Amino acid sequence: MGCKSSEKPIKPKHRRGLWSPEEDQRLRNYVLKHGHGCWSSVPINAGLQRNGKSCRLRWINYLRPGLKRGMFCEEEEDTILTLHRMLGNKWSQIAQHLPGRTDNEIKNYWHSYLKKKVAKAEEMKAHIKTQYTSSSSDINMDSSSSPKRSAIGVPIYDSVLGHVGKSLKCTDQESVPQTSCDFPGDQANCSSFLPKVLFAEWLSLDHVHGWNNIADSGEGLISRSDAPNSHNPNFQFTPMHGFSSNDGAYGGQFHNMQSHASATEMFNSQFKFEDQFISGDDVCRDLNMNNDVMYI
DNA sequence: AAAAGCAGCAACCGCTTCGAA
DNA sequence: TTTCGAAGCGGTTGCTGCTTT
């Protein structure tokens, strides 16, 4: 920061509005050739009648190489929903976990589509809830099989009915029906099959692909026997690739977690699932955490 | 066929943070 | 320590194209 440009900007009249292809070309050529350096000098040097801020935005949101254009795929949608639930409107942080997507794009997508989808699903869920509470005698609502408990390990918008089946990804091929809960009546069933805890969100790709490293570094996160393999159907990765261990919302925190207490604190401060706000105590009570290793 | 309404997206605005002087 | 300018970020606006009436 603190770019000290020798050329003092002489209050030029800045063009506004949509960018023309020529402007895009100029900016692209300039940045690719020289780098942006100080954004306020970019429009001057590139011969654009825009302000630096506008150039920066145009570059970041549209011209930057590697940007994905077009529809969001299912995985990306899930990731946004999950991260939004955890982080709120931290679009830039969310964008960090979606390579090729910009914060602006994600924000727009949220406002124009996902927000409504979530709201609709919540509405639906509320409706279902009222139906169940009015005829709950045949539904086992004890703590071990209630949707609340099941939801603990699934920081995904399981209420987004369109995603219930997809997001929850019941991975136990043998014992779990391959249903996607297509109709409301399935929701209770489906939740009872949910894997109990999913911590994949806190893992970086390194951790996903390099369990040896974790063990070798003594930075036990999850016991090695629980590493994802075919014998461990409860283990699951969500589509959240790229969670870095030090800049991610949880990566760093989780790795620095030194005790049950701090884990609880983190849960308490960060996790709000659905309309049931589950405390970290609730979660940790069900876990056996020792020496920085979390057994599931 | 035309007007009104709506949705999606790009861009702008204003505030905050950060780093250099 | 303070000041200033640049960058970053999230909220909002406004344009455009599509759909509905």
Residue-wise pLDDT tens digits, A112-136: 888 888 877 777 777 787 877 765 5
| Bases of strand C lying below 7 A from some protein CB | 4-12, 15-16
Confidence of residue A138 (pLDDT cuts 50, 70, 90): very low
The beta strand positions in chain A, using DSSP E, are: 288-290, 293-295
pLDDT (tens digit, 9 = 90+) per residue, A59-118?
A: 988 888 888 878 888 888 888 888 888 888 888 888 888 888 888 888 888 888 888 888
The single residue listed with the structure tokens 């706000």 is A277
In this prediction, residue A52 carries a pLDDT of: 87
User: Taking chain A, what is the end-to-end CA distance rounded to the nearest angstrom?
Assistant: 45
In whole angstroms, B2 C1' to A21 CA is: 32
pLDDT at A191: 33
pLDDT score at A231: 35
pLDDT tens for each residue of A175-198: 333 333 332 333 333 333 233 333
Cβ atoms of A238 and A197 closer than 8 Å: no
- DSSP at A41: G
Q: How many CB atoms lie within 10 A of CB A111?
A: 11
A1 touches strand B (CB under 7 A): yes
CA of A14 to C1' of C3 (A): 27
Q: Which nucleotides of B are covered by protein (CB under 7 A)?
A: 7-14, 17-21
